[in-house]
Chains A and B, each alone.
Chain A
Amino acid sequence: MSFMGVNWLKYSSPQAFYPLAGSLIPWCAAAAILLIGVGLYIGFFIAPTDFQQGEAYRIIFVHVPAAWMSMFLYVVMAAWAGLGLGLNARLSFMMAQAIAPTGAMFTFLALLTGAMWGKPTWGAWWVWDARLTSELILLFQYAGVMLLRTSIDDLRRADRASAVLALVGVVNVPIIYFSVRWWNTLHQGASVSMTAAPKMAATMLTAMLLMTVGFWMYSLAVTLARMRCVMVERESLLSWGKQASMQEVAEAR
């Protein structure tokens, strides 16, 4: 399996992945700082005031990227989990484990900033809108995956069980989205129209996209860093029983 003259399969071994992740983290972090910085500058100083929502609309520069990342990261986590189950690859499970906390954090931020945006715009902190409800359930699912992992002591079983749960959840979220949307049409009174969003100026869109890519780079950096922590932790767990493996880790570093 080679692409562009690089043997990519090589990086599926922990020994090779560990230094690779280490060298990628600074680049991702730098890109994240740069992109978020430029995005914030455009968002606060160049993007015009929205004529309907006033300055409150600027919350979307953090809200929308967080919401996108929360869903994207869940799908990526489930994909790694599925890959781990299919190929029996330890590294894939570690990747899924490393993604979960960051995804949960973005889900929480999306909910919080959504409430902050909703209060001045709709006059309510929370409405039972399809997007908000799916986001809330998504947070529960992240919590479920992480809790299941921590409550199983056997590492191999914890990896696999939480992978199955992550995959089941991936089916659930779209069903919830459509069921709540449909449910809302039934309870017309309570629903608030969000689809009638005002047309966005190009600078607003630019700022939002820059922030999104910045958040993505941030997620990459943080996930890779957590992955390295997980690898070291698992290695020392193993070596309680087996002293000799330390040599390998020292080489890997």
Chain B
Amino acid sequence: MSRPSMWETLRGIVRRDLLLAMRRRSDAAMSVFFLVIVASLFPLGVGPEPAVLRMIAPGVLWVAALLACLLSLGRVFTADYLDGVLEQMLLISQPLAVLVVGKVFAHWLISGLPVVLLSPLLGLQFGLGGESLGVLVLSLLLGTPTLSMIGAIGAALVLGVRGSGLLIALLVLPLYVPVLIFGAGAVTSSLAGIGGEANLSLLGACLALSLFFAPWATAAALRIALE
């Protein structure tokens, strides 16, 4: 029996997690519903003035997307932790970081990508148009994987801890601040007519940085949680 390559391991994990998610579709639908509801509450609270809505749109949509990502973080490792699969996964021949990347990518496909795909619709609700809608989608496309990557560290740290739902928010939200600033900043500057390129490239840098560091930190946290 030959050892599976790193790539095969990665694909296997992603496929498995996607299959599991397909059996429980309501899980994936929940973060999308959450996003829609939160984003719809703001106009009701602030008032229907189009100029005001357009001004607050980048921040509101980004914060809503960020909270939607946060809510789904508990699911990254918990199910596998509870039924003992995670412990078995630590024994695979590949580096644990590869497994982490696979699981986080699957998690992003299930709960991050729908948020990205839905965001233009919400942008329209807030009166965004044309270029800024595109920038919104692009910023979320670059930003939500970063959120999942950073969030996975927190998810691994609080695995099996009492009150972990609230705790993870407290641990992870401070780490989300730069992504929020750049993401909302990209949309704001495109609205102001100065283009969002600079912010988008900084978001890209955040993604690269988190891709490089977060899997190792998450792997370390998983080992600590399971030893």
**Are A and B direct contacts in the complex by CB distance below 8 Å?**
yes
Given contacts A143-B170, A157-B225, A179-B181, 12 further A-B contacts (CB under 8 A): A85-B220, A137-B177, A147-B167, A151-B158, A168-B217, A169-B174, A175-B178, A175-B206, A176-B178, A183-B181, A186-B185, A186-B188
Q: Which of A102-110, A159-167, A206-214, A220-228 sits within the interface? A: A159-167
Given A161-B221, A164-B153, A151:B163 Cβ within 8 A: yes
A174 to chain B, nearest CB (A): 10
* Chain B residues in 8 Å Cβ range of A169: 174-175
Name 14 A/B residue pairs within 8 A (Cβ), A-sorted: A140-B174, A141-B174, A144-B171, A151-B158, A164-B157, A164-B220, A165-B153, A167-B217, A169-B174, A172-B175, A176-B178, A179-B178, A179-B182, A186-B185
**Which of A85, A167, A176, A183 is most buried by chain B, counting CB atoms within 10 A of its CB?**
A183
Report if B124 contacts A (CB, 8 A): no
- Provide the residues of chain B in CB contact with A164, threshold 8 Å: 153, 157, 217, 220-221, 224
A128-167: contact bitstring with B at CB < 8 Å (1 yes, 0 no)?
Answer: 0000010001001101100110011000010011001101
Residues of A within 8 A of B171 (CB): 144, 147-148, 165
* Interface flag for A202 (CB, 8 Å): no
Interface residues of A in 193-243 (CB under 8 A from B): none
Q: Are B182 and A148 in contact (CB under 8 A)?
A: no
Is chain B's binding surface mostly helix, strand, loop or mixed? helix
B157→A151 contact, CB < 8 A:
no
Residues of A within 8 A of B167 (CB): 147-148, 151
Main secondary structure of the interface of A (DSSP, over half): helix
Q: Which residue of B lies closest to A85 (CB)?
A: B220
Residues of B within 8 A of A141 (CB): 174
Q: Judging by beta carbons under 8 Å apart, are A176 and B177 in contact?
A: yes
In the complex, whether B56 has a CB less than 8 A from a CB of chain A is no
- Residues in A with CB closer than 8 Å to B189 are 186
Instruction: Check: A1 CB closer than 8 A to any chain B CB.
Output: no
Q: Which residues on B are within 8 Å of A, measured CB to CB?
A: 153, 157-158, 161-164, 167, 170-171, 173-175, 177-178, 181-182, 185, 188-189, 202, 206, 213, 217, 220-221, 224-225, 227
Q: How far is the CB of B29 from chain A (nearest CB, A)?
A: 30
> How far does the Cβ of A146 sit from chain B's closest Cβ, in whole Å?
10
Chain A residues proximal to chain B, CB less than 8 Å: 85, 133, 137, 140-141, 143-144, 147-148, 151-152, 157, 160-161, 164-165, 167-169, 171-172, 175-176, 179-180, 182-183, 186
A172 and B150 alpha carbons, distance in the complex (Å): 11
A82 → B minimal CB distance (Å): 11
In the bound complex, do residue A148 and residue B181 qualify as a contact, i.e. CB atoms below 8 Å apart? no
Known contacts A148-B171, A151-B161, A161 near B225 by CB under 8 Å: yes
Tell me how far the C-beta of B40 lies from the nearest C-beta in chain A, rounded to whole angstroms: 26
Beyond A151-B161, A186-B188, whether A180 also contacts B170 by CB under 8 A is: no
Cβ–Cβ < 8 Å partners of A160 in chain B: 224
